[in-house]
Structure 1
Amino acid sequence: MPQSREDKRVAALDRTGLLSARSDETFRSLVGVAADAFGVPIATISLIDADRQLYFEKVGITVASSERCTSFCTRTIEGDGLAVILDAAQDPLWRDNPMVTGAPYIRFYAGVPLRIEGQAVGTFCLIDTAPRAAFSEAERLRLARYAGIALEMLEMRARHANRDSARMRFRHMAETSPDAMIVYDDAEGGILHWNDSAERLFGHDAAAALRLGVADLTAGPDTRAPWFDDAPAAIREAEIRLSDGAIRAVEISLSRWREGGETIRGAILRDASQRREREAALHALAHRDALTGLANRALLRLRLEAMLADGPVTALAVDLDGFKEVNDTVGHAAGDEVLREAAVRLLACVRGSDVVARIGGDEFVIALPGCGDPLRGADVAARIVATMAAPFPLQERSVRIGASVGLALAPAQAGGIDELLACADLALYKAKADGRRRHRLYTPSLREAVSDRQRFMHEFPRALEQEEFVLHYQPQLRLRDGALVGAEALIRWRHPEHGLLQPAAFLPALLASRHAVAVDDWVLRTACRQAAAWLPRTGPLFRMGVNACATRLHSGEIAGVATAILAETGLGAENLEIEITETVVLTREGATISALHALRGIGIGIAFDDFGTGYASLSLLDEVPVTRLKIDRSFVRKMNDAPEVPVIRAVLQLAKGFGLDVVAEGIETEDQLRRLRLKGCAEGQGYLFSPPVESEAFAARFLPETRPAT
């Protein structure tokens, strides 16, 4: 008798091995982040057995399983896609369900089936005790993305649970698997068995396959790779050659076992094109403003870098006039509508090759590649001013705002990204000062600030030679008892004419100069030497935080430089922490990622600075060997006005899931300190404890005369 649909589904679940597998912090982090993202108290990853709904991971409920007959998820796996119930108490199918009338008192439900081997073995779902009026298309897409991540994690866990299965089990799985599966010998790579999916993938029938070896399937000169790769990575990516000669990228998961005194190998192959498309989509999300869909600051800089390398560029800084009044009088929801409509109007004013970016609340930047003509840039600016002057419809009313625009040209007026944007900003300020709702071109009369920057360029060699740069140190304390755990080194310039300059006054010019590497090396060496001198009084666990040199990172040289400086100063690698920002690593340049792994490999900590201000993702944390997250001061400051700051809670949960430490920046009040303690944040820094101070003041206040007990 043929298997029923339900029997096939349960059999597929059993073959995964997930019923006996355990969850971990990664799954807990995923459901926790999902619950926060959708504002629901309950989120689960469930497996649906013949009789029970088993909660593989959950947040908001304590039971391990429930009866399948009352489960909302049972209905979800019977459908083809997303299931949504806005108010179960009003739904004739669900209003008498014991899970609606009793605990957990379900009112809203949204679930996505999780399919393995083509069978719905479980669900990813959201549950709320309050009904909802709607569940938008955007929310549906977001939930589907979370479910996709959960499915990939479950599939990886399933492959891990079954990697040591015997050959017969491998063959049995191959009978029904949608993935290409191959069994081959360890000595010569001769193919012993492959399934129908492998036949469809490669184009060779089973009989022809038995006359081949895995070397015949390989694209590239190394015919043993990746089939005999014994590296610990669970999934490899490779290129295979099909029967018609075409090349295709696949993911390969390998296993190996002993049978009859011989070593047998197995490979599961999956077309990588869909995953690459998903990665491309996620990368696009990481570079897009969530509200308007425009490019964000990170993508703007990437595009400007490419444009400046190709030829002239005109940058337009755009600021909405009167936008604050919209937020104050009509509300933030209406303000968001205005921003979305403003984005549409800006796109209508430019060409398809131009870049429109939102870089702040009501701040936009437009980049015109190949444009070195101020008249052409002025035409675009005039169109923007005109289109923004038209009323913005808001439901039953409309509002009038406007726009001011500043223009700057490169290379005529600026040589790099920061200088170009700074010049456009100066022109924007001039437009506002002249009465708003107009545009202005950057001119030499606005050049005082830029002149200072250019003058600094010529003074950096003298500043290095005369030792005018100094380091100030801000303590990092353990929040539960105020114990010193580390310090962050911050550069200052003791200028002979202008006095002590903060980084904002000279750092953009320094980073754009050829002296940046020399100054950054000096900072690292000085901070390490100071930390080594303090260690007898701080104890062995003290760490010194130093901001990463982007140039050294991108070139891959930072690990070698850091190793040499540690040897020179006598500081241990475990006492040094390199701080990176999202902008440095979002491009995932090979040399940068390799350099970070090299730093971690010698024991140096990696702190992710200003975390939460951009689009950092789970995949980024998985790829970069981060040891600590730093909560940005902007989120700590929000604690003054809000009873809850979801980003802080999410970062703490995410850090726990990834096994990372957390430092909160910008702590200024006792109330912030108390609330961060209650949330479980272990460490912090800020003006409540001390501003950055010189080494002598730091030692006098925070270092005991005798070494603390360890």
Structure 2
Amino acid sequence: MLITDTNQRINAVNRAFTEITGYSESEAIGQTPRLLASGQHDSAFYASMWHQLAADGHWQGEISNRRKNGELYPSWLTINAVRNKANLTTHFVAVFADISSLKHAQARLDYQAHHDPLTGLPNRTLFESRLQSALLHSEESGSLGAVLFLDLDRFKHINDSLGHPVGDLLLKGIAHRLKETLRDVDTVARLGGDEFIVLLPGLLQPSDAQAIANKLLACFNTPFEAGEHELYISPSIGSCVFPTDGTDVATLVKNADAAMYRSKAKGRNRVESYTCDLTTQASERIALEQELRRALDRNQLSLAYQPKISLLTHTLIGAEALIRWNHPTFGDVPPEHFIPLAEENGMILQIGEWVLEQACQQMGKWRKTCQPFGPVSVNLAGAQLRQTNLVEHIEQLLADNGLEPGCLQLEITENFIMSQTQEALAVLHKLKKLGVQLAIDDFGTGYSSLSYLKRLPLDILKIDQSFVRGLPEDTHDAAIVRAIIALGRSMQLTVIAEGVENSEQQQFLTREGCEQIQGYIISLPLQPEEFSARFLLMNLSDVSDSTAAKPPL
């Protein structure tokens, strides 16, 4: 506290004054409060203060002061005028408190409210505020800007296989590298999970956004250190420019997000720019996702069965259960359109469990009415393999439907199986011990280590149809297929080729020693009743030469 006369000369101070300001009583007496002036306030500030004091005899507010050692500190100041009996002001009493700790606490709260706690990057709130400011400046100056949406490719596999602590270290490393790559005026924010968003203000031309996006893409070429791990990961990046592609925050974020999804659809690890048609596609995608959530309850999903034959005996040796979605408005929705949606929104577990149940029930029905013909294979989603009760659930399903474990074959993609932890591999060994057959699907499209493959309890290698399609003319595909067949033989695994469409492909595969095939040359995937009529209730002397109708090749 301090007391001044009407000439603002300090008459008295208390001990707290000395503790806060550093000035002793003798140093303060006779001085004016300008002794504490910080230089942070202009003359208009003080004029307003004295005007209110003269009118009301009272002023209160926050003020910045300076200690004797030169340090600035925030203060909450209350000034009251003291009047005599004649109502004339004789003194002013000023009471103030050092609110530094309060301001620091407010600053921490403000930082926490506007920054991601893991990476320290701005969060969505701060990003949108800065984007709004950039849009206003763009409107006033006529300058361009851009928004980039980054989504990390297959980050979930890293998180699930190596654990969240490693995933968090990776996210921190990515955040640091993104900041280092961008300009000082740019903002990179984390939206949550594995999504980042970037604001690029003050661009001269739209191609500048593409150039910066390509720099961000390139910065992922070097591996990231995450504890003891050295990890490679790539982003899918979507870009939109303002004001061309939008003039408000929500539209620009939505359009950049739509462009990012096109990047993923085109193979990931690339930059895609927004175009008008993406708005329609994004709306359709949202509608599709909403309808997918209702599809199971409305009995819109079904299983179709595609036969597999032996190239040695030309007899039926199994079938693959393939999910189908017939929507009353959208018609037949291809699995490649809705399965990725299910993986993103978490429905893949529910759908995967439904597929297993339906396939086992159908096998149980065929077991009662038809001769055994081999296992039915089901695609197992990665999320299912991570379920702790998977083995017990499958064992119960088989028992409920009167099936031996050998009646079921589970197909797991190469890329997924290569990214799994010892815990997930232990589940595979339990399934193998149970008697369920295990196949590695889409073989040749991933990055398998042969030493790693030898540790897996596999029964079957499935050659991806992308390599079969060019046979026998494409020498590159032919060489890959020969190598896979040789690998399977050396590891004592059965090799099956999918997507076989013509007799030339079938003859090539037979010559090279492939044991099984499936594809249009045999049949399209069929509903259970038609599958039974065509393949289970007939004499299969040579399925590949069957006179049953086949689709055009």
- TM-score, with normalisation over the residues of structure 1? 0.42
In structure 2, the residue matched to 1:374 is: 199
- When residues 539 and 662 of structure 1 are mapped into structure 2, their CA distance, relative to the original with a 3 A threshold, is farther
**Partner secondary structure for residue 372 of structure 1:** strand
Q: 1:517, CA displacement in angstroms?
A: 1.2
In structure 1, the residue matched to 2:41 is: none
In structure 1, the residue matched to 2:454 is: 622
- When residues 453 and 570 of structure 1 are mapped into structure 2, their CA distance, relative to the original with a 3 A threshold, is farther
CA distance in 2, matches of 1:543, 1:303: 33
CA contact (8 A) 1:406 1:428 kept: no
Q: 1:532, CA displacement in angstroms?
A: 2.1
CA contact (8 A) 1:528 1:569 kept: yes
In structure 1, the residue matched to 2:431 is: 599
- When residues 443 and 413 of structure 1 are mapped into structure 2, their CA distance, relative to the original with a 3 A threshold, is farther
CA distance in 2, matches of 1:535, 1:421: 47
Q: 1:641, CA displacement in angstroms?
A: 2.2
In structure 1, the residue matched to 2:67 is: none
In structure 1, the residue matched to 2:117 is: none
CA distance in 1, matches of 2:288, 2:361: 27
What are the equivalent positions in structure 2 for 1:189-208 lying under 5 Å apart?
A: none
Aligned partner letter, 2:330: H
In structure 2, the residue matched to 1:43 is: none
**Partner secondary structure for residue 324 of structure 2:** strand
In structure 2, the residue matched to 1:525 is: 357
Q: 311, 322, 325: which one pairs with 1:479?
A: 311
CA distance in 2, matches of 1:608, 1:428: 21
**Partner secondary structure for residue 373 of structure 1:** strand
**Partner secondary structure for residue 442 of structure 2:** strand
CA distance in 1, matches of 2:389, 2:169: 25
Aligned partner letter, 1:422: Y
Q: 1:443, CA displacement in angstroms?
A: 7.8
Query: RCO greater where, 1 or 2, for CA within 8 Å and sep 6 or more?
Result: 2
CA contact (8 A) 2:306 2:526 kept: yes
- Cα deviation code 1:294-339 (max 9, x no counterpart): xx9768974999489959999xxxxxxxxxxxxxxxxxxxxxxxxx
Q: 1:424, CA displacement in angstroms?
A: 3.9
Q: 287, 311, 319: which one pairs with 1:455?
A: 287
Q: Is residue 675 from structure 1 mapped to residue 500 from structure 2 by the alignment?
A: no
- When residues 372 and 531 of structure 1 are mapped into structure 2, their CA distance, relative to the original with a 3 A threshold, is same
CA contact (8 A) 1:541 1:575 kept: no
Q: Is residue 703 from structure 1 mapped to residue 542 from structure 2 by the alignment?
A: no
CA contact (8 A) 2:306 2:321 kept: yes
Q: 658, 676, 691: which one pairs with 2:524?
A: 691
What are the equivalent positions in structure 2 for 1:303-452 lying under 5 Å apart?
A: 306=167, 310=171, 371-375=196-200, 381-383=210-212, 406-407=238-239, 421-424=260-263, 441-442=273-274, 446-452=278-284
CA contact (8 A) 1:630 1:665 kept: yes
CA distance in 1, matches of 2:320, 2:532: 14
- When residues 470 and 440 of structure 1 are mapped into structure 2, their CA distance, relative to the original with a 3 A threshold, is closer
CA distance in 1, matches of 2:539, 2:469: 36
- Cα deviation code 1:434-457 (max 9, x no counterpart): xxxxx8754887232232232233
**Partner secondary structure for residue 465 of structure 1:** coil
CA contact (8 A) 1:579 1:609 kept: yes
Q: 1:585, CA displacement in angstroms?
A: 1.7
CA contact (8 A) 1:537 1:705 kept: no
- When residues 426 and 375 of structure 1 are mapped into structure 2, their CA distance, relative to the original with a 3 A threshold, is farther
- When residues 475 and 512 of structure 1 are mapped into structure 2, their CA distance, relative to the original with a 3 A threshold, is same
In structure 1, the residue matched to 2:492 is: 659
RMSD across aligned C-alpha pairs, in angstroms?
A: 4.4
- When residues 687 and 652 of structure 1 are mapped into structure 2, their CA distance, relative to the original with a 3 A threshold, is same
CA contact (8 A) 1:479 1:681 kept: yes
In structure 1, the residue matched to 2:377 is: 545
Q: 1:634, CA displacement in angstroms?
A: 1.3
CA distance in 2, matches of 1:413, 1:423: 15
- When residues 506 and 369 of structure 1 are mapped into structure 2, their CA distance, relative to the original with a 3 A threshold, is closer
- When residues 440 and 655 of structure 1 are mapped into structure 2, their CA distance, relative to the original with a 3 A threshold, is closer
CA contact (8 A) 1:426 1:446 kept: no
Q: 405, 419, 422: which one pairs with 1:573?
A: 405
- When residues 678 and 505 of structure 1 are mapped into structure 2, their CA distance, relative to the original with a 3 A threshold, is same
CA contact (8 A) 1:529 1:571 kept: no
CA contact (8 A) 1:471 1:491 kept: yes
- Cα deviation code 1:552-611 (max 9, x no counterpart): 212333212211211222221101000001222222312211111111110000000011
- Cα deviation code 1:26-45 (max 9, x no counterpart): xxxxxxxxxxxxxxxxxxxx
CA distance in 2, matches of 1:419, 1:566: 43
CA distance in 2, matches of 1:414, 1:556: 38
CA distance in 2, matches of 1:492, 1:548: 15
CA distance in 2, matches of 1:578, 1:703: 22
CA distance in 2, matches of 1:447, 1:311: 32
- Cα deviation code 1:266-295 (max 9, x no counterpart): xxxxxxxxxxxxxxxxxxxxxxxxxxxxxx
Aligned partner letter, 2:389: E
- When residues 537 and 482 of structure 1 are mapped into structure 2, their CA distance, relative to the original with a 3 A threshold, is farther
What are the equivalent positions in structure 2 for 1:105-254 lying under 5 Å apart?
A: none
- When residues 519 and 408 of structure 1 are mapped into structure 2, their CA distance, relative to the original with a 3 A threshold, is farther
CA contact (8 A) 2:459 2:493 kept: yes
**Partner secondary structure for residue 474 of structure 1:** strand
**Partner secondary structure for residue 295 of structure 2:** helix
**Partner secondary structure for residue 601 of structure 1:** helix
Tell me the matched-pair count: 341
Aligned partner letter, 2:484: V
**Partner secondary structure for residue 514 of structure 2:** coil
CA distance in 1, matches of 2:475, 2:266: 40
CA distance in 1, matches of 2:399, 2:442: 30
- When residues 414 and 590 of structure 1 are mapped into structure 2, their CA distance, relative to the original with a 3 A threshold, is farther
CA contact (8 A) 2:472 2:508 kept: no
**Partner secondary structure for residue 533 of structure 2:** helix
Q: 1:535, CA displacement in angstroms?
A: 3.0
CA contact (8 A) 2:309 2:518 kept: yes
Q: 1:352, CA displacement in angstroms?
A: 7.6
- TM-score, with normalisation over the residues of structure 2? 0.53
- The structure with the largest alpha-carbon Rg is 2
Q: 1:419, CA displacement in angstroms?
A: 7.7
- Cα deviation code 1:20-76 (max 9, x no counterpart): xxxxxxxxxxxxxxxxxxxxxxxxxxxxxxxxxxxxxxxxxxxxxxxxxxxxxxxxx
